[in-house]
Every structure is written in structure tokens, then in C-alpha cells.
Amino acid sequence: MSDVEWHSVALAPIVLVHGTEGLIADRAVRRLRALAKEADPSVEVHDLSGEALGPGALAQVASPSLFGEPRLVVVPEPQSAPDSLVLEPLDYVKAPEQGVTLVLVHRGGNRGKKLLDALKKAGVPRVDASPVKRAADKQAFVAAEFARARRRIQPDALVALVDAFGTDLAELAAISRQLIEDTTPDPGERPGQVTVAEVHALTSGRVESTAFAVADAAIAGKEQDALQPLQQAQPRRRRPRPDRRRDRLEGPFAGEGVRTERDPARPRHARLDLRATSPGRRRAGTTAPWPGRSRQWPARTTRSRAPAATRSGRCGAW
């Protein structure tokens, strides 16, 4: 099995798209559809998803037709199909039909491992759609987006763009396309590199919306630099996101990086007196220590828990 990038995958009897990153998987399928339409506009496209993926569905759409037109068969989630239906692609891998391109989009997981092993043994091309997690990989992804558009971006602008929209790859790709369109010059002019200022202008200061950036600017007396990211975060009704380069807090606020104050609307409960709640120190007729409780301690319950010497009267009346 040979790994190929989504933007360079070509038509083949069987193509595997493997991974949980939906953006890369969708792009690979769209590219294969476009290549099939470009090769022959009369191509038949079959999407075997949901109820369409039934017993014998693959054999029916992949069988030779009367007119011999090419076909593109897409199976979106073979790992979710019943075990009985997984046997059909296994048999098809051994003898694929001519003029048919079968695209299997496996979303990851342990199900369908037998099918993946068979595809690996057959050496079918595989598009890796694994999640892009590292910042360096996301920067390479954005750089490739600009390179395909024949544009360049400054390294600092690239880092700022990933810092602002790196949590979602689809959003990162969309903002990259928007940035390319907004900075495209008029016909006849030579496009230049995308700068950090252009990234900041498009994102409206989102790249600076970190709690540490707000605090650092406020301490330094830079009111405008502190208000800009703070105002950008308020319309979304969320606090400025933490700076991932700093240490995060531990405890219940781990992962937020911002310490919060007590809600003024929430009543401050009085501390419990552990000595008053001790079974040996409860008195009949006293109220429970918890706020909002008016129930009294029953005298017989307290008397039953008192020491025997106290009940006998030698230590005073109870």
C-alpha cells in the first residue's frame, strides 16, 4: 500500500481514504470525482451510504453495464457496515472490475481491520486522512494552501494564522482561502507576500485574544493593545483563550488558563462547624448546620448516641 497526498491522488481500480480528518477525506473524494468527470463526462457516480449499502449493492453497481460507461463507486463508511457486508469488498479486492473506481472512505477505528489488511496486501493507493495535531504540520498545511494558489506568506504571518485558527483544520483552510482572495492584486500587478498586518486586519485581532496578551498589555500601560483583543472576545461571550505557550492551571480550571472570581449572584455558604456536627456533641433541639435546613435533631437519636455514663446521670442530667 502506497501513501499519496489528497491533492495528488489519481484514479485507480481501488482507492482507500483512511483517517478521521473530514476535510482531507472530503477533498480526496472531490478530487477523484473531478478526475472521473474530466476523463469521461458520462461517468456514473454511485454513493453507497445508508440504505444504499445493502447486500449485493456493490456487486450490482460494479457489474459490467450494457453500454460500458465508466463508474465511480464511493463507500463512505465501510467500518460502520455489518460484518456480512464487509465480505463483499473483500471479495471485490481479489477481482476488481474494469472501468470501475472503488473509493473506500474508512473513518478509522478497529472495525474493518480485516478489510484494511487485505487492501494493504493488495497494494492499493491510500490517502492518509489522519488528524493534523502538531503546529508544524498545520503550518505546512497552510503553506501548501498558499503554494497551490501560487502565493507566498511570511513565516510570522503563517505562525499568527495557525495560532488564531489552528484548532479546526476546516476553519484554517477557509480563512486561508479568504486571505488569499482578499490580498489578490489587480490583473497585471505582481502579488507580494502576505504579511502579519494583513493577517491581523482579517482576523480582527483574534490572534492576540489571549488572556496573557491582555494582561501584559494592561500592565505595560498599552490600553489600546489590551482593549482590542478583549473586545474581540466579548461578542462571542467567552473569555480570552489561554496562551498555549504558558503553563496552564491545575485543578478544576485546568485547560482554561484563566482564573475566575466567585459569581456575585451565588450565595456564600457559611462554613460548617465540624465540632457541632460531631455525633457526640449534638444537642437535642439544635438545628442542622447546613443552610436552608430547618429540621431539628431528634432527642432520642442524640440520646442513643450519648455515652453510657452520661445517660446514667452520674455526669449530670442529659
User: What is residue 89's predicted lDDT score, i.e. its pLDDT?
Assistant: 85
User: What is residue 229's predicted lDDT score, i.e. its pLDDT?
Assistant: 64
Which of 13-22, 97-106, 282-291 is predicted with the least confidence, judged by mean pLDDT? 282-291
Domain final position from 181, 203, 225: 203
The answer to whether residues 50 and 87 belong to one domain is yes
Q: How many CB atoms lie within 10 A of CB 74?
A: 19
Q: Tell me the mean pLDDT in the region 206-213.
A: 59
Residue 245 lies in a domain: no
The answer to whether residues 49 and 95 belong to one domain is yes
Dist CA 34 CA 151 (whole Å): 24
Cell numbers for 163:
495560532
Percent with pLDDT over 70 in the chain: 67
In angstroms, what CA-CA distances link 310 with 125, 223, 275, 296, 316?
A: 86, 70, 19, 21, 7
The answer to whether residues 101 and 192 belong to one domain is no
Domain count, the chain: 2
The answer to whether residues 82 and 191 belong to one domain is no
The answer to whether residues 124 and 151 belong to one domain is no
User: What is residue 204's predicted lDDT score, i.e. its pLDDT?
Assistant: 66
Domain final position from 107, 128, 149: 128
| Mean pLDDT taken over the chain | 75
- Of 288 and 49, more confident: 49
- HSE-up of residue 67 (Cα within 13 Å, Cβ side): 6
Residue 283 lies in a domain: no
Residue 246 lies in a domain: no
User: What is residue 60's predicted lDDT score, i.e. its pLDDT?
Assistant: 86
Residue 45 lies in a domain: yes
The answer to whether residues 74 and 187 belong to one domain is no
The answer to whether residues 10 and 110 belong to one domain is yes
pLDDT at 257 over 60: no
User: What is residue 170's predicted lDDT score, i.e. its pLDDT?
Assistant: 92
Say which residue the cell 463508511 belongs to. Answer: 77
Query: In this structure, what CATH number is given to the domain that contains residue 16?
Result: 3.40.50.300
Q: Tell me the mean pLDDT in the region 227-243.
A: 56
The answer to whether residues 95 and 171 belong to one domain is no
pLDDT at 65 over 90: no
The model's confidence at residue 59, banded by pLDDT at 50, 70 and 90, is confident
The answer to whether residues 40 and 106 belong to one domain is yes
Dist CA 58 CA 102 (whole Å): 9
The answer to whether residues 58 and 145 belong to one domain is no
User: What is residue 24's predicted lDDT score, i.e. its pLDDT?
Assistant: 95
* pTM exceeds 0.85: no
Q: Domain range for residue 74?
A: 3-128
The answer to whether residues 122 and 143 belong to one domain is no
- Of 171 and 228, more confident: 171
Angle at 165 between CA 161 and CA 170, to 5 degrees: 115
Residue 154 lies in a domain: yes
Domain final position from 80, 109, 128: 128
User: What is residue 246's predicted lDDT score, i.e. its pLDDT?
Assistant: 41
Query: In this structure, what CATH number is given to the domain that contains residue 154?
Result: 1.10.8
Residue 48 lies in a domain: yes
pLDDT at 213 over 50: yes
Give the range with max mean pLDDT: 55-69, 137-151, 265-279, 304-318: 137-151
Residue 223 lies in a domain: no
CA dihedral 47, 34, 72, 15 (to 10 degrees): -100
Residue 280 lies in a domain: no
User: What is residue 217's predicted lDDT score, i.e. its pLDDT?
Assistant: 78
User: What is residue 103's predicted lDDT score, i.e. its pLDDT?
Assistant: 94
- Of 309 and 75, more confident: 75
The answer to whether residues 195 and 123 belong to one domain is no
pLDDT at 206 over 80: no
pLDDT at 30 over 90: yes
